[in-house]
Structure 1
Amino acid sequence: MIVDDVEQRSVAWQRSRFGNFTGSEVHNLMKSGRKKYEAWSETAKSYMYKVAAERLFNPDFLNDDDVFDDYLHQTNFTSKAMQFGIEQEQYARETYIKLNNDVEVFEVASCKHDTIPHFAASPDGIVRGADLKCLEIKCPNIATHMMYVDKIHDGASLKEVKPEYYWQTMAEMACTGATETDFVSYSPWLLNPIHIVTIPRNDEDVALLEERVKLANAFVEEIINKSKS
């Protein structure tokens, strides 16, 4: 696990992830096209074109904090609900720690895969224990939180209900070497504000994910080479 020593959501963190396939978006690579011979869905292609463009970004703009921050503000949308979730994340982490006998949770930035280039994930914490464990926190609205309580109980149900979150947890385990991830839904308005589900590492799905990222990297390199010809 290669960890960038920068604060999550900072300009430096955004720069470190630029041009990478990341845990929060890697689910876009997991669907093939509608026809049997199509390796990629249109959503996957759109994501790969975006990554290709990021790798060709003007370095003068990329390395200028003010210019790059301006670009991020123009291209990244943060709703009130998303901002609320970001603000509640620390409280969710503190609640999780108390419920788990004051277990140590370390905040990390972008964790790069040991062997696959341009592949990184940013778990919301690393839990110290006998085995490495990731923490992934979501702070949805109260109705969505209760739906998670009702329907998400293990890896299979997470994959069915929220496949994008399932593949995010697999990406985090692929990039960190963790054996499991605690998926946490937190709603501060409720008497019992936290729902914790342990998602074990699925080696077959991790291998599938890693293979898709390798193929996506090859696709991106092909696009980059075309742009230079």
Structure 2
Amino acid sequence: MEEIVQGTAEWHALRLGKVTASRVADVIAKTKTGPSASRAKYAGELIAERLTGTPADRFTNAAMAWGTEQEPAARKTYEFYRDTDVEQVAFVLHQTIGDSGASPDGLVDVDGLVEIKCPETHTHIETLLGQAVPAKYVTQMQWQMACTGRAWCDFVSYDPRLPEPMRFFCKRVMRDAALIAELEREVVAFLNEVRGTVAQLQRIYDPQPADEAVNLRMAG
């Protein structure tokens, strides 16, 4: 079987209608009055994907294209830094929540992962100064660990536009069982809402043909 590469049509098909690690932050996003607009937007995307069988349109810009182009170099730098090999993987389903999964940037050794970001320079500089993993990525990495069963994930920020000593940042995040359990509860509830809305829309707009309904009543 041909290996599926992240970003391809086959990869998008694997993720169709499923909650993915990069979007778990949207699932748990809340405001003072309740769920956030980003949560509702994401639910709408998954509902449409399930009804149409077509992946939602993904926004791209120059910064995102840059990140994709630089990721192989960042991965090689990480392999040199850690003196290890990275195994690339397309998509890993959650072990118990079948409608969710993750696409880590690589499996490392027997119990690790790597998540690679090649951001705009000002963002990379903020990470260098703060010497910490940006909070918005912690949820993504924890969900990757939930799906893969791995114990840690190295966060990498890489920008070759800076002087060599400043190009590479790496910090390890350990598995947080309590946070993962909380995320799992939130994702299960979110997926139940998505399934319920899909079923409701199908009942309203794709009702059972009248002749089939009559036949079923007669059979009963």
Query: TM-score scaled to structure 1, two decimals?
Result: 0.82
* Deviation at residue 197 of structure 1 after TM alignment: 0.6
Post-superposition Cα deviations, 1:68-117, rounded to whole Å, max 9, x if no partner, equal 7xxx6xx222211111110100000101111112x121000011101102
* Deviation at residue 33 of structure 1 after TM alignment: 4.1
What does residue range 126-165 of structure 1 map to in structure 2 within 5 Å?
Answer: 126-129=107-110, 132-153=111-132, 158=133, 162-165=134-137
2:72 alignment counterpart = 90
**SS of corresponding position for 1:135:** strand
**SS of corresponding position for 1:25:** helix
CA distance in 2, matches of 1:106, 1:183: 16
**SS of corresponding position for 1:228:** helix
1:65 alignment counterpart = none
* Deviation at residue 29 of structure 1 after TM alignment: 1.2
Look up the equivalent residue of 2:108 and give its one-letter code: V
* Deviation at residue 34 of structure 1 after TM alignment: 2.4
* Structure 1 runs not aligned, ≥5 long: 63-67
What does residue range 67-82 of structure 1 map to in structure 2 within 5 Å?
Answer: 75-82=57-64
After the TM superposition, which segments of 4 or more aligned residues of structure 1 sit over 4 Å from their partners? none
Highest relative contact order (Cα 8 Å, sep 6+), 1 or 2?
1
* Structure 2 runs not aligned, ≥5 long: 204-220
In the alignment, does 2:147 pair up with 1:168? no
Contact 1:133 1:180 in 2 (8 A): yes
1:34 alignment counterpart = 32
In the alignment, does 2:170 pair up with 1:196? yes
1:205 alignment counterpart = 179
Post-superposition Cα deviations, 1:169-216, rounded to whole Å, max 9, x if no partner, equal 011001101111000000112212110010111111111111111001
Q: In structure 2, do the counterparts of structure 1 residues 91 and 114 end up closer, same or farther at CA, with 3 Å as the change threshold? A: same
The percentage of aligned residue pairs carrying the same residue is 32
Look up the equivalent residue of 1:224 and give its one-letter code: V
In the alignment, does 2:13 pair up with 1:15? yes
CA distance in 2, matches of 1:46, 1:24: 14
Contact 1:27 1:163 in 2 (8 A): no
Query: TM-score scaled to structure 2, two decimals?
Result: 0.86
In the alignment, does 2:94 pair up with 1:113? yes
Count of residue pairs the alignment pairs up = 200
Look up the equivalent residue of 1:216 and give its one-letter code: F
